[in-house]
Amino acid sequence: MISFCTATSDDLPEVLALLEVAQLPLAGVKEHLQNFILALDSDRIIGCAGLEIHEDAGLLRSVAVDEAYRLHGLGEKLTRGILELAQHQGLSSLSLLTTTAQNYFPRFGFVPIEPSQLPRSLNDSEELSGACPDTAVGMTLRL
């Protein structure tokens, strides 16, 4: 039985473990965990997606689904959950960096953007300023 919920500080170790297996950055997760959505199978975390808020710009990060649960729409539900959260927060854009999924996010309306063109306030993000490799592709969506 799959369910969805918002993360609490107790979830940090399990979220970090999931991201580590998915080879995604861990920096900044703790600081933004209150804006993470989790997918659970009973009480086991099998997916997550996070939102960093920097002024009126959002960063979608840490979209990961346990390998055994992929291709069943969980990544989509988690991503759409963060989109709703970003809209609810009145953000003007949602951006992301990825080295692995630049062909996944266009289905939600994200378009490629030069990393130098990302909103300036996102420079405060640890993920953006170093935790993500230089080869990452930038993508953005106007809300």
In angstroms, give the least distance from the CB of 42 to ligand COA.
18
Q: Which is nearer to ligand COA, 72 or 120 (CB)?
A: 72
132 binds ligand COA (CB under 6 A): no
The answer to whether residue 15 forms part of the interface with ligand COA (CB under 6 A) is no
Nearer to ligand COA (CB atom), residue 90 or residue 109: 109
| Binding segment toward ligand COA, per CB under 6 A, in 7-15, 30-38, 61-69, 108-116 | 61-69
Q: Which residue(s) pair with 54 in the sheet?
A: 57
| Interstrand relation of 57-65 and 93-98 (parallel, antiparallel or unpaired) | parallel
CB 99 within 8 A of CB 132: yes
Give CA 80 to chain center in angstroms. Answer: 11
Q: If you ran DSSP here, which 8-state letter would residue 44 be given?
A: E
With a CB cutoff of 8 Å and minimum separation 6, the contacts of 81 are 4, 37, 49
Query: Do 65 and 75 form a contact (C-beta atoms < 8 A)?
Result: yes
Which positions from 70 to 109 touch ligand COA by CB under 6 A, shown as an x/- string?
Answer: xxxxxxx---------------------x-xx-xx-----
Positions in the binding site for ligand COA (CB under 6 A): 22, 24, 63-65, 70-76, 98, 100-101, 103-104
